[in-house]
Amino acid sequence: MAAQNPLVQNPLVTEWDTPFALPPFTQIATDQFRPAFDEALREHEQDIAAITAHPDAPTFANTIDALELAGRKLNQVGGVFWNLTGTDSTEDLRAIERDISPRLTRHYTAISLNPALFARVADLYGRRETLALDEEQARLLELTYKSFVRTGATLQGAGRARYAEIAERLTTLETEFSQNLLADETDFLFELEESDLAGVAEDVKAAAAQTAKERNTAKPYALTLQRSSVEAFLSQSSRRDLREDLFKAWIARGENPGKTDNRPLIAQILALRQEKARLLGYPTYADYKLEPTMAHEPGAAAALMDQLWIPALRRVEEERAALQQSVDEAGGNFTLAAHDWRYYAEKLRASRYALDQAELAGYFQLENMIAAAFYCAEKLFDLRFQRRDDLPVYHPDVRAYEVTDGQGRHVAIFYGDYFARAGKRSGAWMSNFRGQKKLGGEERPVIVNVMNFSKPAPDRPSLLTLTEVITLFHEFGHALHGMLSDVVYPSMSGTSTPTDFVEFPSQVYEHWALRPEVLQKFATHFETGAPMPQALIDRIVAARHFNQGFQTVEFLASALVDFKLHWRPDSPEDIGAAEAGVLQDIAMPAFMVMRHRSPHFAHIFAGESYAAGYYSYLWSETLDADGFAAFEEAGDIFDPATAKRLREHVYTAGNRRDPNAAYAAFRGRAPDTAALLRKKGFV
């Protein structure tokens, strides 16, 4: 970012005279964030004071509408700041984050505990039946009232003070957790010689060489702890010793002794979350967290996980036996271990289905897969994506697109940030710089997808694995949920839905990634340009259930640990022992490791969004399995009538309707949970 000129007004808090009012990234300097937050917080405080001091009796307009419109500058500043801390973190940004996170928590906690403000909201809620509200307004009033209650508005005296203390302390701990994890991932480099890369595909070697060059390592190749980098090596390397070393480093993120050890933080986080839940009248944090979700209460989520756990264990044991046989037949004098699984699974996949990941990757060029995701959005939702190199971006790797509908009307701006780099948080996600709303004037969204694919070497395109193709479609499904949003109120727009519903639009979109109709058009070989042979497509389809036991157990173990740590009246002091206890109780196989071990489980400890709710992916997977079946039943994966219902009741609807009702409106009924077992091949 640019150096600050003190004579120029802070661009973070001005009206942006840029195309589509996009952030003027080149004008923004890191040291402008603190004064920008200062001004934005003052403005928001004034907005709230104006609502509470309003001389007229509460109305929907002077209270709820006003709340929705309050804090415009704070949203603008935060939209830039939080995106950059995820994609291009520096020590200066992290220092600001450590300062501003608890301050923002104090600010929002003061709003939720403001008795005059809550009195106005409660007054409206008490006479809601007399207000002649439309469906979206009625839901917004209900959610606003319940949000105040769930954030301490009805607490008194010492309870109110303690709630505020807990909220601020949790924010500090969660920020520290996130920064510790980033430090572990950023600081680690697995340096390799040419002789260490036996079995590794050329595109993976090229990416490792590029990393070594960028990080100026002593050896010519280097891997980071990014999932894409690690999993590629674990799947391909014939060096069992190196696979073990890298795997151990990967699963130890966040629990290395020293200043980045997250285990003490987790103990404090769990204790504070349970205390908060009890203050608010809930027996456990899971009871508190699941109340507003589709599941509503912990028992429903537990029942779904239990329904899948035994079939998954049965399948993974069958898979283990087959892999052990492969080890034995290859002359390996050892028992299959966790760091062996991906390597031998790929060997077995290649043997059974003639599918080799390196061969497959040759057909999955990043540019073509982006085009495939856009193509499906055009076929389903009549969208067009036009690359715009004239629009401001926050990093040279980022590309910008204007999104329009079939009539040429502006829909959104979409940013694609696809490559791993130092300072970028691991994983993949969707976020926004601006959400959609109509209240106070139409605003269309600015959406970003962030990935961590390996950057291509100068003479090769970026090639994706099968898993990475699905990840790209998954995150683009989230992006569509944000881009297509068509609601009045900003707090209801896009992905502002319960976590066990928000994954439905993303997970259902995954289904189009590997459909023959899409592969035939976009999976072309990077060297020959030849389309993927039909025989290879058939083998991909035939292998769709391969390794599902492993994938399901790996995920469910993490979901169950999250769930059981939060669904208990006490809180453990030794997180390692607590995690091991849960895994023992559920009979976790010794030859596997959970997908996210607690010390690096950012979903649940770097913030509260998915805390006690990692099961949400499974709940949404039930919806996506049943939801995509609607297209199959129609006989066309782009069936216009089914796509119209999906768009109307899911992608454009935000949170204006209860998600159970929204799904039923799309599907015509409640979801069929058996569809999930069929999708995974367990029945």
Q: Long-range contact list for 596-599, CB < 8 A, 24+ apart?
A: 596/558, 597/251, 597/254, 597/255, 597/558, 598/254, 598/262, 598/263, 598/266, 598/561, 598/565, 599/252, 599/253, 599/254, 599/255, 599/261, 599/262, 599/263, 599/266, 599/575
**Cα 19 to Cα 16, 404, 455, distances in angstroms:** 9, 15, 29
Q: Is-contact 622 673, C-beta < 8 A? A: yes
- Tokens representing 72 are 């415009």
Tell me, yes or no, if 346 is annotated catalytic: no
Counted residue by residue, the chain has a size of 683
The whole-angstrom separation of Cα 269 and Cα 272 is: 5
The whole-angstrom separation of Cα 498 and Cα 485 is: 16
Q: DSSP of 217-283, one letter per residue? A: -SSSEEE-S-HHHHHHHHHH---HHHHHHHHHHHHTTT-SSSTT--HHHHHHHHHHHHHHHHHTT-S
- Tokens representing 122 are 């409660």
3-state SS class at 403 = strand
Helix (H) or strand (E) holding 499: helix 499-510
Catalytic residue among 174, 475, 503, 510: 475
Q: DSSP of 304-369, one letter per residue? A: HHHHHHHHHHHHHHHHHHHHHHHHHHTT--S---GGGHHHHHHHHHHHHH---HHHHHTT-BHHHH
> Residue 9 class from Cβ within 10 Å (0-12 exposed, 13-18 middle, 19+ buried)?
exposed
> Residue 576 class from Cβ within 10 Å (0-12 exposed, 13-18 middle, 19+ buried)?
middle
* CB count in 10 Å sphere of residue 258: 7
- Beta bridge mates, 463: 365
Q: Which residue has the tokens 């990234």?
A: 25
Helix (H) or strand (E) holding 449: strand 446-453
- Beta bridge mates, 413: 402, 446
- Tokens representing 469 are 């193709």
Dihedral sign, Cα of residue 59, residue 64, residue 70, residue 76: negative
- Beta bridge mates, 431: 448
Q: Is-contact 223 190, C-beta < 8 A? A: yes
Q: Which residues are catalytic?
A: 475
